[in-house]
Each structure stands twice: as C-alpha cells, then as structure tokens.
Amino acid sequence: MEGLTLSEAEQKLYSELFGTCDVDHTGRVSGTRASELFLASQLPHDTLQQITELCGATRLGHFGRSQFYIALKLIAAVQNGLPVRLDSLNTGGDMPLPRFVHIKGTEQDKKRMQFANAGVSHHMSMEADHYTSPDKPHHPILERQTTHPGVLPPPPSSRGHVRSGSSGNPPHILHSRQHVVSEAASNNLPLQATATSPQDSYSSSPYNTSPPTTSPPSQRRSTDRHHSGPAATAAATAKRSLFDNRMEVQWTGQYGAAAQAAGVNTADGWVEFSSSPASQPRSLGPGPGGAPTDSEDESDPWTITQEQRDYYTAQFKTMQPDLHGLIQGTTAREFFQRSKLPIAQLSRIWDMSDVNQDGALSLEEFFAAFHLVVARRNGYDLPETLPQALMPKSTQPATEEDPFAGAPPMAGGGTPPVPATAPQTQAAPQPAPQAPPQPAPQAPPQPTPQAAPQAPPQPTQQPTQQPTGAQGGSKSADENWATFDENSSSPSPVVQSPANFDFAAVHPDPASKIIQPVPVRMSPEGQTYSDYRPRTFSEPIPTDVVNLRRERSGTSPSKHPKSGDTAEFTPGKIAPPPPSSRSKSAKSSEEEMENGVPPHKKLTQTVSDTIRMRPRLAEKLSRPRSYSGTSVGVHHPPPLAISPLAQSDSPTESQSGGKKEAPLLPPPPPRPPPRRQQTHSRSVSLDLNRVFLHRDSKGKHPAPQPLAPPPAVPPRHVSPATKGPKVVQQNSEQAMPISPTPKTTPNNVVNFITAEAAVPAEGLKHSRTMSLDSKAGSAFRTKWTFRRSVSFQPEVPLATDTPPTPPPRPHDQTRDKAEDTPVEPPTKPVKKKAPTPPPVRPRNRHRSGEDSQKSELRQEEPSTNDRRRHVSAPATRVPPIPPPPVRRKREDIQAAIRAHKERNTVLSRTNSELQGDLAEATEERVTLELQLQKLKPFGVTGL
C-alpha cells in the first residue's frame, strides 16, 4: 500500500523475509509459505486470516511484495496489542518488528528471530524454513518481550512454543535444545568438537542447553532419560566446549538419576512446556523472558539459581579456594576465554561484573561474570548493564550462600556433584587464602590440596564431569578440565582482609604467577586498588590511610591492628630514604644558616630518589596535590606527615633531625595519633598558601614553603605570623622523635629563626640577628625571645598586653625544659596577638631541640595549642579571635586577616567538597580522600 511507511530496519527485515519466502524469485509468495511464516508469529489463526485479508493477499491469491509487507506490519501491530486494522499500520513512529518464533531453526536462528524485535535489524536466516507455528497468540508475551528484549527466554524447546522458563524454575540460561538434539549439537554452538558419535551428540544436546543448573529435570525429559545413565561416560569422552561439558556432566550427574526415576515430564514445571506446543498454547506466555510477572519472579533469566550458584562456587574454588578471596584478572581471563566467546564480549562482561573495578573477581562478581558468560554462550544478548539479579549483594563476597543448601533438593536420586566438591573445597579454602609471600598471618596451605580433594570425593559419575574429575576423561573434556585443574593448583593468593597492605599482597604472589594488571591504582586520586573492597564499598579506613598510619606509626605499632605487617613494612622502606636526605640536609643545613635559603633543591632530589625507590609512596604523596586546587606544587602536606621523606622536604626538619636521626630511624619514633589532624586536613593547604604569601612578601624563604603544610589549625586563630612558626615546629617535631639528643637543638633553633624571620615582618631583623646568636647555644634562645618581645613592644606600644609578655618568656624557657610549662607562655602571647606568635615559635623550637622525650612533645604540642586557646578564652578575651577592638590598626588588621583566613578555609573546604562531587568520584572515594587528607594533616599537626 502506498500509505505504508517503513523504517529502515523494517524494510531490511521485511525484504529479507520476503526474499526468504520467495523461493522462486517470482516476486510472489505463496499463501502457504507465507502462512508458515505468519504462524511463527504465534498469532491466532483467525487473526492471521484477518491480516491476510486486509493486506489483500486473499484477493490476489498470493502475497506480492506490498501485501507481504503490509501483512508483516500488521502482525507487528497486532503483536503490540493494536487492533487488526489497516489504521494500525501508521499509528506511529516506532513499531517494533514483528516477532516470529523459529521452531526448527538452529538455535542461533531462533535467537535472532527472538531478538529481532529488539529493534536491531538482525539478518534473519530464514533458510531454515521451519516456522513452526504455535498458533497461540500471546499478546502479553509480546509485550513482555518488548520490555525485556534482551532477556528473552531461550527459544522454544520442543516446537518453539515451549520455553524453558517454568514457573518454578527460572530457565535462565537454558536453551531448549532438547528437540533439536543431534542437529542442534552439531549445528549450533561452536562446540569445540562436533559430536563424534550419535550418543555423544545425543547426550550432549540436552545438557548443552543448561550449564546453569537452573533448568533441572525438565530439560532432560525424554532425551535425558535415555542418556542419563550413559551420559556421564559419554560426556567425558565427547569433545565439547567447556561449558557444554561442564553442564552436561553436572547435569547428568545430578539429575540423570533423578530424571530417570521421576520420569521426564513429571519432574517440574518444565514438564508443561516440554509437552507439544499444541497442547500448551500459552507456553510462551509464561516464558521467562516475556511476562512481566515472570521477570519479577525467579524466572528472570539473570537470577542465579541455587544449583547454578553451587556450580559457580565450585568453579570459583578451582581458582580461588577461599570464597572470600578474589580471582585475579589473569586467572579469570584464562578461565573465561575457554568459553570461546569473543574477547570483546568477555570484556564487556567483565566490565559489568567487576563491579568495583579492582581487576579481580570476588565470588559474587564471579557469579555474575560466569552467569553472563553462560547466558551469552547460550545465545542471550548481553544486557547493557549488569542485571539487578546479578549485582553483588554485599560488599563482602557472598559467604552467605551455602553452596550445599541447594544441592540436596535437586539431587534427588543422584548424588549431586556439587555438594561433594563443596565440602572439600571449603575445608581447603579458608586456610589457603593467602599467597605464600605474605609473612603475615595468612600464609597457609595451598591450592594443590584442593584440586586433589575434589576429585576423590565425588561419588559416581560426577567425578568425571567435574573439572578435576575430568582428568580421567578423554581428550576434549579433559583438556578443559585439565586447564581448570591447573588453575586450581595455582590459586590466586589475592585474598586479603580489606585492611591489608595492598602492596605486600600484590608482590608476594610469585607462586601464583599471576600478574595483576591493575592491582594498584596509580590514578591521580591515588587510591590503591589493591584493596578490592574498599573501592566499591566504603570502608571506614581506606587502605591508603592504613598505609599512612603504618608509615607514621613506625614507633607505635600497637595502634595498628596489623602492626606486624605494617611495622615491618614501614621501617624497611622508610628507613632507607632518610639517611640520604639527612646527610645532604645536614650539609645543606649550614648553608641554610648562612643564606637563609633552604637546601631545598638538594632535598628534593633526594626525595625524588626516594620516591623512585617506592613509587607508590610517591604517588600517595602526589595525590594530595591533585586535590588541592589552590596550590598545586606547594601542597605536599601529607607527605611530610607520612614519613621521613616528607621531612626531607623541609630543610629545617632535615637539619634538625639530620645528624642523629639516621641512626635512630630504624625504630621509627612513635607518632602522635593521626586522627586529630582530620579536622584541619583541607584547611592545611590554605594555611600553607597564606604562609607562603607572607614569606613571599618578605621574599626571603620561598623555597621552604613546601614544608609549610603542617600549619596546624590552632595557629590560624592566633595570628598569621604564628602559622609560620608552627609549621616549623611541626617539622622539627617530626625530626625530633628521631633526634632525642640536645645537640640538634641549636640547629633547630637556627632553622626556626630563619623560618620565622620570613614570617613576621617586624621580627625579621631581630630574628636574623637572633639566629646568629642562637647558633651559639640555647642561652641565646632566651635572649632571642626577649629581644623579640622587646621588638614587638615598640612596634605595638598600644597593646596593653605586650608588656607582660616579655617576663613570661623567660619563665617559659625555663619551663620549656619541663615540657608542660611551655604551654602556658603561649597563652599569654595569644592575648597579645602580635607578640604572641613569635614567642610561641621559640618555645616550640626549644622543645623540639631539647626534647629527648619525643612522644611527650608530640602529644604536648597539640595540647599546647589547645591550651593556648583555652588560656586566651578563660581570660575574658575570645579564644579564637583575641583581638579586642581597642587595639591598634595592626591588631584590627590582623583580626581581619584571621577572619578572612577562616573564611577562606571554610570556603576552601566547601570548594574542595564540591570539587569532589564534581569529580563524580564514588562516595567511597570521597570519603577516602577526606580521611586521607585529614589523616595527613593530623600527622603533621600532631607532631
């Protein structure tokens, strides 16, 4: 008809169909031939007749091209629930293609037919000519199909009508090949080897269909019955693709006996469908693919039945004995490649199934992957996204599942292979999880045991079928299985508790031979993937954090649960870098003193070396940068905190620690609790920037800036100037733990002075002079402090507070020796704002230098900060912002500066958060980042 408008896809499909039906190339299709095709649409007879009339074929006596097209279009319309009228033709834009059920065609053909409706123009191979027409119209079905194009159930088993999907059992992957039997076996799937003998083909055919255990006895039906007994042996001998073999074997093993006993039809819901199409018009409707209700039900082809689960679990165990473990990418790749699916599809499957994208498969993920592979193998189109049914339910690998639970019911007469294997494997798995390399707790036994055990336990037929069992079998099956055995022998050691150190885990695997493609994530975000779980599932403490802790923890292993590993790890790696840096730093320190310019470059070089040594660490260090938008280069706050490397960054640190640190390093000093810093983490970068600005303005110490990161939160409140010193303090502190001896003190002092000089404009002159003096000794310090205070006084004459400051300082120095006392002095300075910052610094310096008591100092420092605030608070003045209105312009300015800083920090934080959102990082990532940043600042500030 002229009015008929066809889409491209329709035209293509129709012309193909027409060509197929127009055997004689006369341009006409006989009514019989057309009716054959139309019947395959499964519309009722009378409807088809109506259509035939409408299209004009009845008058003509044959189908011309136009009539044929109209008929097809009408069929499509009717299938979509439209009335049988010509009006239906032009209802609208997108009419799905008509669906025809291929009854006798090869499976592939059937599939194509089924999926044609998906809108994709499949080339329909009509050669088959078999359109069995189950006369049954199933509108609901059709609709369902439209909704779930991909999901469509396996092709009609017996005559096309029968769909594997049974009410009770999801036919998910099952292909109804039963009827096709030998034909199907030979023709359909690219089996590795064609059936050598009729028996083989026979036996194979029924089982081929369902690797997944979902389709129990129903499939077996008649064919199964016959072969169930011999099937096992036959299967072993027959060459088939892995999947086919496995499935067959298992099926035979499990169900063979049961099927025989029960009688084919009786077995399940399957029976219904198995029966001839005529008897069951509605069979299609219930089919798994179509009906909405079905999809909701278990019938969803993507749901994994218990049997499948068992089987998958067994397979998983062959590669990874520990159910909580992970199958490495390479292992999985090897395994799945045996499915003979094209790499591209496997890749897609992997993308979908590796939910947390760690390059390895957990049990749940493996289920999904295997299920998808099996489904694909059986002709299902891959879904666009991972079906809900296959989504890993929990962060942790599905331990919940009882491999065995499902087995008993299904087993029926036959002894289910799964159970037998499962127990064995289970026993093995737990102990075996780990790679030998890891020194830690999990180093136990291994894979080999597993393989062995599996084979023996299996009772009758199954052993042969099972991977291990297959060994006995003939070539084809054996090969596959043999490969599996190999896998089993080399289980991936990957299994680690989430908290474990990634690196350790990765490297250790020598035995496994498996090289993880991407165990560790080098990406900018810097989160290591080694921990599989963490990524997808947000764990409270990311691996990075753990690492950091370890590194820091050096001295205080007790904090970390896995102290053993961490302690070993950290010292070993950390220790080496510091010496070099120190030596250089020590040399450079002198230069610094003179020039006031830190030996930064040298240090950086050393740092870089160290970084090279352990790239991952470096990455971690680098990560922070990426996050800090404001000052890229400058932000290394975390690194400092992290380890000696960080220290090396800051000349002062290196100097202070320099001489004595090296020897001490091996036992890393206990560092203060990392967490405190968290609150300030983000702000740190900002603070640094400010510090830099100050310095820059004075132009004296640009280089040292990178060190700045430590500026702890407390200083902000006090004043801009204080920040600088605090940073220094932190650095010194870090160094301090290493160098308990007093000798270091002078150096530290000097350094601090230099650093300070840059910060306070007023104090610059004094500080320099002082620095020289300070070299002489600690005595100078006191003087220095006095001078400073004095200097301040003139500068800020108006400030009432200033006068009191000088006196306290001397006390402070004396007190400094006593760790606690120093705290008080800072409080006083706080009141005076301007003067306070400088005094605080000296104290800290003193402490750092003096302290033999590393731990105490660290703890104290934070406490001191708090105290300062508090002290200021108790006095009527406001703790955070002491500046009263009375004070001079300067004070006002300072106050304003502080306020702005605070604002900036707040804004910066919010900004960073927003950035994180923008980055669309997963929630985990965000949390991890936050934690990391927090931790980093902590380490710095805490020190």
Binding site for another protein (CB under 8 A): 328-330, 332-333, 336, 343-344, 346-348, 350-351, 354, 357-359, 517-518, 521-525, 529, 604-605, 608, 611, 615, 618-619, 621-622, 625-626, 629, 632-633, 915, 918-921
The residue (of 504 and 621) whose beta carbon lies closer to another protein is: 621
Query: Looking up tokens 């004296």, which residue turns up?
Result: 700
Using alpha carbons, list the distances in angstroms from residue 760 to 276, 283, 708. Answer: 95, 87, 15
Q: For residue 388, count CB atoms less than 10 angstroms from its CB and return exposed for 0-12, middle for 13-18, buried for 19 or more.
A: exposed
CB of 56 to another protein, least distance (A): 43
Q: For residue 661, count CB atoms less than 10 angstroms from its CB and return exposed for 0-12, middle for 13-18, buried for 19 or more.
A: buried
Contact, 673 vs 746, CB < 8 A?
Answer: no
The residue (of 400 and 920) whose beta carbon lies closer to another protein is: 920
CB of 876 to another protein, least distance (A): 43
SS3 content of the chain, % helix, strand, coil (to 5): 60, 0, 40
CB of 346 to another protein, least distance (A): 5
In 3D space, the residue among 203, 264, 210 whose CA is nearest the CA of residue 228 turns out to be 203
CB of 643 to another protein, least distance (A): 15
CB of 361 to another protein, least distance (A): 9
601 bridge partner residues: none
Q: Quote the CA–CA distance of 771 and 200 in Å, as a whole number.
A: 93
Contact, 726 vs 711, CB < 8 A?
Answer: yes
CB of 331 to another protein, least distance (A): 8
The residue (of 348 and 675) whose beta carbon lies closer to another protein is: 348
The residue (of 558 and 608) whose beta carbon lies closer to another protein is: 608
CB of 168 to another protein, least distance (A): 35
The residue (of 14 and 380) whose beta carbon lies closer to another protein is: 380
Residues 6+ apart with CB under 8 A from 82: 88, 91
Dihedral pair phi/psi, residue 513, rounded to 5°: 70, -10
Three-class secondary structure of residue 164 per DSSP? coil
Residue 69 corresponds to which tokens in the numbers above?
Answer: 């097209």
CB of 525 to another protein, least distance (A): 6
Using alpha carbons, list the distances in angstroms from residue 624 to 526, 617, 619, 930. Answer: 8, 12, 9, 10
Query: Looking up tokens 């990392």, which residue turns up?
Result: 674
Tell me, rounded to whole angstroms, the distance of Cα 522 from its chain centroid: 13
The residue (of 634 and 830) whose beta carbon lies closer to another protein is: 634
CB of 567 to another protein, least distance (A): 27
Q: Quote the CA–CA distance of 495 and 326 in Å, as a whole number.
A: 6
CB of 349 to another protein, least distance (A): 8
The residue (of 180 and 326) whose beta carbon lies closer to another protein is: 326
Q: For residue 373, count CB atoms less than 10 angstroms from its CB and return exposed for 0-12, middle for 13-18, buried for 19 or more.
A: buried
CB of 638 to another protein, least distance (A): 12
Using alpha carbons, list the distances in angstroms from residue 798 to 238, 261, 290, 762, 887. Answer: 101, 105, 87, 16, 7
CB of 712 to another protein, least distance (A): 25
In 3D space, the residue among 233, 9, 254, 276 whose CA is nearest the CA of residue 135 turns out to be 276
The residue (of 343 and 693) whose beta carbon lies closer to another protein is: 343
The residue (of 351 and 590) whose beta carbon lies closer to another protein is: 351
Using alpha carbons, list the distances in angstroms from residue 241 to 289, 488, 869. Answer: 25, 19, 74
Residue 788 corresponds to which tokens in the numbers above?
Answer: 């400073």
The residue (of 118 and 895) whose beta carbon lies closer to another protein is: 118
Contact, 19 vs 106, CB < 8 A?
Answer: no
CB of 925 to another protein, least distance (A): 8
Amino acid making up residue 544: D
User: Got the DSSP string for 33-53?
Assistant: HHHHHHHTTT--HHHHHHHHH
The residue (of 89 and 520) whose beta carbon lies closer to another protein is: 520
In 3D space, the residue among 640, 656, 638, 645 whose CA is nearest the CA of residue 609 turns out to be 645
Dihedral pair phi/psi, residue 784, rounded to 5°: -55, -50
CB of 523 to another protein, least distance (A): 4
Tell me, rounded to whole angstroms, the distance of Cα 900 from its chain centroid: 40
Q: Quote the CA–CA distance of 567 and 176 in Å, as a whole number.
A: 59
Residue 703 corresponds to which tokens in the numbers above?
Answer: 């280089």
Dihedral pair phi/psi, residue 360, rounded to 5°: -145, 160
Amino acid making up residue 644: P
Alpha helix ranges (H) inside 209-291: 217-237, 242-251, 257-262, 270-274
CB of 628 to another protein, least distance (A): 10
The residue (of 399 and 523) whose beta carbon lies closer to another protein is: 523
CB of 348 to another protein, least distance (A): 7
Alpha carbon dihedral 312, 317, 323, 325, in 10-degree steps, equals -120
Query: Looking up tokens 């199964």, which residue turns up?
Result: 224
The residue (of 98 and 599) whose beta carbon lies closer to another protein is: 599
Q: For residue 724, count CB atoms less than 10 angstroms from its CB and return exposed for 0-12, middle for 13-18, buried for 19 or more.
A: buried
Q: Three-class SS string for 365-395? A: HHHHHHHHHHHHHCCCCCCCCCCHHHCCCCC
The residue (of 242 and 593) whose beta carbon lies closer to another protein is: 242
CB of 392 to another protein, least distance (A): 16
CB of 766 to another protein, least distance (A): 32
The residue (of 455 and 928) whose beta carbon lies closer to another protein is: 928
The residue (of 601 and 900) whose beta carbon lies closer to another protein is: 601
The residue (of 627 and 780) whose beta carbon lies closer to another protein is: 627
The residue (of 271 and 919) whose beta carbon lies closer to another protein is: 919
